[in-house]
Amino acid sequence: MRLFKKKRGEKEQPRYEFSDIPIGSMIEMSDTVTFDLEDKVAQTYSVKAYKKYEVEGFLRYMYQLENSEEVILGVDFDPNTGEYDLGRFVWSSEEEFTEPLGDTIVMDFDDPEKEGETIQVEYYRSKIINTKMTLVEAETTEEYDDVELHEYESEDGELLTVELWNSWFTFFLGEVIDRADVEVYPVKNE
């Protein structure tokens, strides 16, 4: 026998294990993007901070993870279906806003097979999202209105997200990863 009954017509709220993961939690990643050049099977990171972007019909988390290196776990939720997508990102650069972003961005990367040469990758903008951003750190939580996210993708499916706030661009490079490659161990807040 249950002690508490649900009220008639009351729906159970879905529990998303990737939302609002507390600072200090551990996240284990075993995706091939992380370990393409390493002999390890998995690597564990601590959640240092995160950004939460939200507007009607859109919810994204960008978790800043660290151990000996820093990576970013991106989590997109579709509020209509309850489905989510994961991406592994690295912070690429932060630059002062001097001119608007174009529909394409070309970036140069070192060629891993030919020393001293570069490879150009062209990214195509798919959408612009005007959103509110909440920055959550160990001791503080700050909210920022009027943040723009510019979403780009290369022909190979590589991702480029550009955050525009105030007079600064922040560039995040990433790739899609599978849910099976990420395990969350939330810290218990007492």
Q: Is the full-model pTM beyond 0.75?
A: yes
CA 92/CA 14 separation, integer angstroms: 34
Q: Is the pLDDT of residue 158 over 50?
A: yes
DSSP class of residue 36?
Answer: T
Query: Mind giving me the DSSP string for 122-143?
Result: EEEEEEEEEEEEEEE-SS-EEE
pLDDT band at 87 (very low <50, low <70, confident <90, very high): very high
* 85 within 8 A of 179, measured Cβ to Cβ: no
What is the pLDDT at residue 141? 95
The whole-angstrom separation of Cα 75 and Cα 51 is 10
Q: How far is CA 129 from the centre of its chain?
A: 15
Q: What pLDDT, on the 0 to 100 scale, is given for residue 175?
A: 92
Distance of CA 65 to the CA centre of its chain: 10
pLDDT digits (tens, 9 = 90+) for 95-154: 887 888 999 999 888 887 888 888 999 999 999 999 999 999 999 999 999 999 999 999
Indicate the pairing of strand 26-29 with strand 168-177: unpaired
| Mean pLDDT of the 34-44 span | 66
| Better-scored residue on pLDDT, 155 or 36 | 155
pLDDT of residue 36: 56
Pick from 10-19, 55-64, 72-81, 103-112: least confident: 10-19
Query: 94, 170 in Cβ contact below 8 A?
Result: yes
Check residue 4 and give its pLDDT. Answer: 44
Tell me which residue of 97, 57, 95, 98 sits closest to 76, measured CA to CA.
Answer: 57
Q: Which pLDDT does position 92 carry in this prediction?
A: 80
